[in-house]
Structure 1
């Protein structure tokens, strides 16, 4: 009896039960992830084979040949509130060129996002030219430049009563031959593909992020669960440009990340949260890598585009289509930047 009791105790111990449960859950998780990956690959095959059954579900708001690298899709929303900006050579310093890329996700309307598209790179360019004029070119103070530029942009949009309760997130990147600078304000995101791995270049500003929650509550605000965590029950991002009525809880100060460029850098993706809500960093990089390698093609090549521009635009378009296929209900804006050339 003692032996049987001990055998029973050992076989039904919590540790063994946990191990069996963990093994079962792990197996189910692997099967689920494998199934999702196969489903995504089938969607990519449908899009790349020219079957427009998925393409018909997308509503393109702005995809013109004068602005390559990007895709802007209104999706299932009634209004397009996103905006993108691609400004190659927006600042020149002797033989060095600075390129600017920006994705703006508006809310409450499109006016703030549109204003950022037209003005933010100009405001930043003026600040950079002052820095260059002062001889500070080797090591620019990117933190100060970005923070001051975002603050001036925020003042501009808040000066007019037309904006009202509107606002916009902003993720922007400045690329030059030796470094990449990303400034993020909100829940849009930038991701770098380096040596086959996805490297985050920004951190989403969500109201329930511990440091953001502490900052909001310290300033007298609250985060309320109203169809998701929202500042004062209104806004699902804790930082943005505009949103005058939510100051000081929602701020326009960006977080800045500077990366030195390396030989293994392949490309960079900037996109609004319409994409990141349903697509992981790794999956997005996987899709873009296949497009840039010429293994997936889903749109015809325009005569105005060279091969590099075509492949980047193709990658952005395919990401938008996959995002819609995975059920995104938001506007979707994507910029793909090839860092190999």
Structure 2
């Protein structure tokens, strides 16, 4: 049995602290004092995006992380985070061995502030080359998503079991990084949160981990296959988990945890942490010639672009950078009102040469 008077007092209390506001990416439902507190990302609302194309800025800068440990060769951060005005950034990158190439695109869109972050890294650990891709969609501010960009992959590659038991390392790193973020914010009035959808390639194994409603899909033989399932409060298993922990899922324009948050798992969100966990769901996929491409994106894309469309659009573009830009543009023109960020990874498999005189089947 739920005490609704207690629940009401919790929601009102949260609104007084300003971390909830109406219409904020559909994630929070109430509140009115959000902008009174310091530390939020404020963007000049006078900036106008009158033309889609002339605001694109292609960025191809490579940055070396000099803080790597002795067992790690320097990590390559394949992209800067934002362009000069924080509105749009895109670029591309290809691995040294030619095994894969990727493109990324991130657009503030119709929103006044940018709360999406993304990360692409490659590192050599004990002789093994690994690739890491991540989408982090913030809500209530950009602090949580920025923290994940700065720390999640760094923490993961330093985990002692990263190569031996990658799933365990991912699960423990996600939850430990969540604790560290909450500790770093304990003396503030903020209560930011963020999704995380990541893809990690170790050898010929792909590990996709997800918290929240960002999403990762793959294309195998032209078929779109989701490797993550959105964490929505009305998912039957998520609703059961929340209610078993003493929480409640309520309708407030959409299904929300405690009538407040429109996702059931996230980093941060201290006030709802008992119910909104950062434990990732992880899926493993073997990389073979059937695996053609990988798409990671925030819900600003998935709200208006179905999985099948994302694959078709990505396949039509030869370069993943062009595919990422096209996906972002498509989501915007289809009416997405959110920040839109995506990463497209294309796999380049070596073709076995045919013997002379043999016929193609």
Which of the five TM-score ranges fits, normalised by the shorter chain?
0.7 to 0.9
Residue matched to 1:145: 169
1:327 is aligned to 2:361: no
Bigger share in helix: 1
Counterpart pick for 1:83 among 111, 117, 127:
117
CA distance in 2, matches of 1:120, 1:272: 17
Residue matched to 2:223: 197
Q: Which moved more, 1:239-248 or 1:159-168?
A: 159-168
Q: Structure 1 unaligned runs (5+)?
A: 1-51, 293-310
List per-residue Cα deviations over 1:117-165 (Å, max 9, x = no partner): 01000010111xx226xxxx4xx32331111101111011101234721
Task: State the structure with more CA Rg.
Answer: 1
Please give the secondary structure, in 1, of the residue aligned with 2:169.
helix
List per-residue Cα deviations over 1:242-294 (Å, max 9, x = no partner): 001102110000000011111111110000011111111110000000012xx
Using the size of structure 1 for normalisation, the TM-score is: 0.73
1:228 is aligned to 2:254: yes
Please give the secondary structure, in 2, of the residue aligned with 1:224.
strand
- Count of matched residue positions in the alignment of Structure 1 and Structure 2: 262
| Alpha carbons 2:86, 2:114 under 8 Å: kept | no
Higher RCO by CA contacts (8 Å cutoff, separation 6 or greater) = 1
- Residue 102 (structure 1) shift: 0.3
- Residue 62 (structure 1) shift: 4.2
Runs of 4 or more above 3 Å deviation: 52-60, 64-68
1:268 is aligned to 2:297: no
Counterpart pick for 2:158 among 106, 126, 130:
126
CA distance in 2, matches of 1:64, 1:281: 21
Counterpart pick for 1:154 among 169, 173, 178:
178
Distance 1:113 1:155, change over 3 A: same
Distance 1:242 1:163, change over 3 A: farther
List per-residue Cα deviations over 1:102-126 (Å, max 9, x = no partner): 0000000001000000100001011
Residue matched to 1:112: 144
Residue matched to 2:126: 93
CA distance in 1, matches of 2:109, 2:347: 28
Residues 25-44 of structure 1: pairs in structure 2 closer than 5 A: none
CA distance in 2, matches of 1:121, 1:224: 34
Using the size of structure 2 for normalisation, the TM-score is: 0.69
- Residue 54 (structure 1) shift: 4.8
| Alpha carbons 1:54, 1:325 under 8 Å: kept | no
CA distance in 1, matches of 2:238, 2:55: 36
1:248 is aligned to 2:274: yes
Distance 1:202 1:66, change over 3 A: closer
Q: Structure 2 unaligned runs (5+)?
A: 1-49, 57-84, 94-101, 350-361
| Alpha carbons 2:90, 2:321 under 8 Å: kept | no
Distance 1:175 1:189, change over 3 A: same
Please give the secondary structure, in 2, of the residue aligned with 1:328.
coil
CA RMSD of aligned residues (A): 2.0
CA distance in 2, matches of 1:121, 1:231: 28
1:314 is aligned to 2:322: yes
Please give the secondary structure, in 1, of the residue aligned with 2:329.
helix
